[in-house]
Amino acid sequence: MIQAHLWRAAKLYVAAPALRASVYALALALLLAHSYVSARAAEQIILVVYGDSLSAGYGLSERHAFPVRLESALKARGHGVRVVNASVSGDTTAAGLARFEWSFPKHADGAILELGANDALRGLRPDITRANLDALITRIKAKGAEPLLAGMLAPRNLGVDYTKAFDRIYRELANKHDVLLYPFFLFDVAGKRKLNQTDGLHPNPAGVEKIVAQMVPIVEQLLTRIAAHHSKTQ
C-alpha cells in the first residue's frame, strides 16, 4: 500500500514539470527506504534495477514493470528476493551517474545496471557512455553490491563505426570488472510489434514477460554470487 502511494506521487515527475526535482527525488528516496526496511525485516536479498524507461515501466501499470515481474518470477522459483525499481525514464548514463549517490540504496545486495539506450538514440559519444558505465559499476561495487550489466545495441542507422564502438562497450566493461553480462536487454523483443508498445521502442506487458523469462537464469547466477559473497563476509 505504501509503495502504491509513493509510486503515484512519483508520477508527478511527469505531470508537473515544476515539481520534478523535489517531488520525484523525495518520492523515490522514500520508496527506496521503505523497500530496504521491508526487505531486511524479512531477511530478503535486495536487488536494485538501475536503469531508464525500458526497466522503469514507461507506459505500463506498476504491476507490469520489469522489476515487479522479475521479483514475481524469482519468488516463483523459490528465491527470497526484493527487487527495487530505481530506474528513471529518459535517463542517459550521465544522468544515472549524476543521481547515483541519492537514488541507489546503501544496503543493496545486487544491482541490474540497464543504461545506455538513450545515449545511443541521441548519438552520444561511445567513449563518454563507456566512462559513465565504468564509473557506475565501480560505485555499485563500492556500495557492496554485486552488479549485473544489461547490455544495449546501438541503432544500425548510426553507421558501422558508431555501432561497433558502442556495442563493444558492455562486453569489455564486464570483462574489466569481472561482472555478469546480459548482452542485450531487448533481445528477441526489439522490433517485434506484438511485444512492444505503439511507439515501437518500449516493451508492452508481453515484451516485459519475455525479457524476464530470458533474464531469470543469469539473475539466478547473480544471486549465487551474492550468496558466495555473504558466506565470505560472515
Q: Give the tens place of pLDDT for each residue, 39-89.
A: 444 468 999 999 999 999 999 999 999 999 999 999 999 999 999 999 999
DSSP 28-84: HHHHHHHHHHHHHHTTPEEEEEEESHHHHTTTS-GGGSHHHHHHHHHHHTT--EEEE
Q: What is the mean pLDDT of the chain?
A: 88
Mean pLDDT of 155-164: 96
Mean pLDDT of 190-218: 98
Q: According to the model, what pLDDT value does residue 7 have?
A: 46
pLDDT at 23 over 70: no
Closest by Cα among 106, 104, 59 to 85: 104
pLDDT at 3 over 60: no
Pairing of strands 146-150, 180-182: parallel
Confidence of residue 15 (pLDDT cuts 50, 70, 90): very low
Q: According to the model, what pLDDT value does residue 135 have?
A: 98
Confidence of residue 232 (pLDDT cuts 50, 70, 90): confident
- pLDDT tens digits, 79-104: 999 999 999 999 999 999 999 999 99
DSSP 164-204: HHHHHHHHHHHHHHT-EEES-TTTTTTT-GGGB-TTSSSB-
Q: Which has more confidence, 7 or 126?
A: 126
pTM for the full predicted model = 0.82
Residues with a catalytic annotation lie at 53, 199, 202
Cell numbers placing 93: 548514463
pLDDT at 188 over 60: yes
Check if CATH label 2.60.34.30 holds for domain 44-233.
no
Scan for cell 544489461, then name that residue: 150
Contact between 87 and 49 (Cβ < 8 Å):
yes
Mean pLDDT of 214-219: 98
Q: CA-CA distance, 192 to 126, in Å (whole number)?
A: 26
Q: Which has more confidence, 229 or 11?
A: 229
Q: According to the model, what pLDDT value does residue 26 have?
A: 53
